[in-house]
Amino acid sequence: MSLDSDSHLEEQEAQKEEPKPQFDLTVSVDSMAAYLRVKPAAADQVVTYDEVLNYLTEKEVTYGIREAAIRDFCDGKKYYMELLCAQGDPPVDGEDGYITYNFDTDTDFRPKEREDGTVDFRDLGTVKNISKGEELCRIVPPTPGKDGRDVYNREVSFKPGRSPVLPAGLNTEVSEDGLALVAGVDGCIEFKKSRIDVNEVFIVRGDVNSASGNIKAIGSVIVQGDVREGFSVTAGKDITIRGMAEGAFIEAQGNITISNGMNGMGRGTLKAGGNIVGKYFENAVLEAEGDIYADVLMTCRAKAGGSIILKGRKASLIGGKYEAGQKIVARNIGTGTSGKTAVSIQSSTLNDLLTANSDQESKEALEQQLTNAENDLEDFQNKFSELRVHIKADSQLNPEQKNQMIKAAILRKAKMAEEIQEIKDKIKQTDEKRNSLFQFKIVGTGVVYIGTKMSIGPYNLTLTADYSNMKFYINSDQIVFNPVLPSDF
C-alpha cells in the first residue's frame, strides 16, 4: 500500500472521529433577536467563531451580529448557555400628539388662597373668562419616529404618532396653522370632554352664594336666582338677575336688570355703564351712566347720568338723595314726615346752557333791537325812492356818480336787512336754549311733599307745602313750578 493511500485513510478516520457540532437557531417572532444553542459532538470539541459566523450566514442572519459575545462564547466554551448572537434595532414609534390647555380644566372649584396664606371662600374661580382672539388650547404635534432593522437585515417601519383633534365648539375658531383653538368672541369658557364653548352669557343656575362664589365675567351674566348678602357679580356687558339682590355688590359695563330689585341693607351697591332697572330698591347705592327705572326708591343714594324714572303701581321716591342729569319723574316724591328727601338735576350740559344764557342778551332787549332795526329799514325804504329820483334829477352829477350813489344806497339797504336777520337768529337761539332748559326738570304727578329739597343747577328750593301734579324747572334764575303737561313725559 502506498503512502498516499495511507494518508487518505487517516484523514477519513479522523473525519469519522470528529463529527460536526449541532447548531440550533431560534429567532424571535418580531425577528429582532436570534438565539443560538450549540451541542458539541464530543465533550472536548472546540467550536470556533468562524463556524458560528458561517452558520448564521447560512441562515441569513446578517444584521446586528454580536461579535464580542460570540467570541466570548466560543473562547469560554459556554456551550451549555443560550447565546444572543444577533440583535436588531427595533423601530422607534412616533409619540402621540396631545393638547395643552391655557385655562384650568379642573371643574372642582376650590377657594383661592390669598398672598398672606388665608383663604377667600367667596372666590372659587367659577367663571373662566377669555377675550376674543386669545388661545384656548394648542396641539403639541406627534414626534417623528425612526425605522428599525431586524436580524435578517430587513427594514422595519415605525408607527407614526396620532394627532389629536381640536375640541372646537361654539364661538371658537381654528388658527391658520391648524394647531390652536382661539376664542371667536369675548366670553366665558365652558369645557366638556371633547368640546370647548365660549359663551357670551354666563348663566348661574340658582343663587349667587357660597356654592357659586363671586361671579366675574367678561361678557354678560344671567342669575336665575338671587344674589345673597356679601357676594358680588361683575360683568363686562349686562347683568340680569331673575330674583333679587341682598346687600350685594353688582357692577356691569352695560345694563343691570333685577326683577325684584335690591334690599341693600346699607351696603348694597349697583354700578352700571348703562341703565339700572328693577322693581324695588331700599337702602342701596345706585350709580348709572344711563337711566334708572324703578317702582320704588326708598332711602337710597342714586345718581343717573340720564334720568330717574319711577313707574308702576306706587312710582314713589321716598327718603334719600337722588341726582339725575336730565329729569326726575315720579308719582310721589318725599315722605311728608321727618324723613328727608333730596332731589337734584346736575349735568355739564345744564351748566353750559346756564353759562350761555348768562352771556346772552335778554330776549326783551333783542326784541327791542329788532323793532328798532325794522323801523329804521322801513324809513330807509320810504326815503330810498325819493333819493333815487333826486339823484337822477341832479344835473351836477355825471352818470357814473349817479350809479355809485344808487349802488351805495342799495348796499346800505341790504346791510340793514342782514342785521335784522342776525337779530332774529339770536332771538331764535335764545328761545331754543330756554326750551332746552325746560327739559331739565323734576316732575311729580301725584304729590311732592313738604320738606323735599330740590336743586337744579346752582338754584335750590325747599318746599314749604305739598304740591300736586307739578313740575319744577328753571326760569329767570330761580326754580319755578307749573302743572304737569303730557309733553313733560
Question: CB of 60 within 8 A of CB of 151?
Answer: no
Q: What pLDDT, on a 0 to 100 scale, did the predictor assign at position 359?
A: 46
Q: What pLDDT, on a 0 to 100 scale, did the predictor assign at position 4?
A: 54
CA torsion sign for 77, 78, 79, 85 is: negative
Reading the block at residue 248, the C-alpha cell is: 350685594
Phi, psi of 27 (to 5 degrees): -115, 135
Q: How many CA atoms, within 13 angstroms, populate the side-chain half-sphere of residue 15?
A: 6
Q: What pLDDT, on a 0 to 100 scale, did the predictor assign at position 308?
A: 97
> Residue 247's closest CA among 285, 289, 301?
285
Burial state string for 304-340 with b = 16 or more CB within 10 A and e = fewer than 16: bbbbbbbeeebbbbbbbebbbbbbbbbbbbbbeeeee
Q: What pLDDT, on a 0 to 100 scale, did the predictor assign at position 7?
A: 53
Q: What is the Cα gyration radius of the chain?
A: 50
Question: CB of 167 within 8 A of CB of 196?
Answer: yes
Q: What pLDDT, on a 0 to 100 scale, did the predictor assign at position 1?
A: 46
Tell me the CA distances in angstroms from 265 to 245, 281, 282, 287, one per residue in order.
10, 10, 8, 17
Question: CB of 208 within 8 A of CB of 181?
Answer: no
Q: Would you write out the chain's pLDDT as a tens digit for each of its 489 residues? A: 444 555 555 555 545 556 888 999 999 999 999 999 999 888 788 899 999 999 999 999 999 999 999 999 999 888 888 999 999 999 999 999 999 999 988 765 555 555 655 445 566 767 899 999 999 999 999 999 999 999 999 999 999 999 999 999 999 999 999 999 999 999 999 988 789 999 999 999 999 998 888 999 999 999 999 999 999 999 999 999 999 999 999 999 999 999 999 999 999 999 999 999 999 999 999 999 999 999 999 999 999 999 999 999 999 999 999 999 999 999 999 987 767 999 999 998 888 778 766 545 566 777 787 788 888 777 877 777 676 667 666 666 777 776 777 788 778 888 888 888 887 777 777 666 666 778 899 999 999 999 999 999 999 999 999 999 999 998 868 999 999 988 877
> Which of the 8 DSSP states describes residue 40?
-
The whole-angstrom separation of Cα 331 and Cα 63 is: 101
DSSP string, 164-194: PPP-B-TTEEE-TTSSEEEESSSEEEEEETT
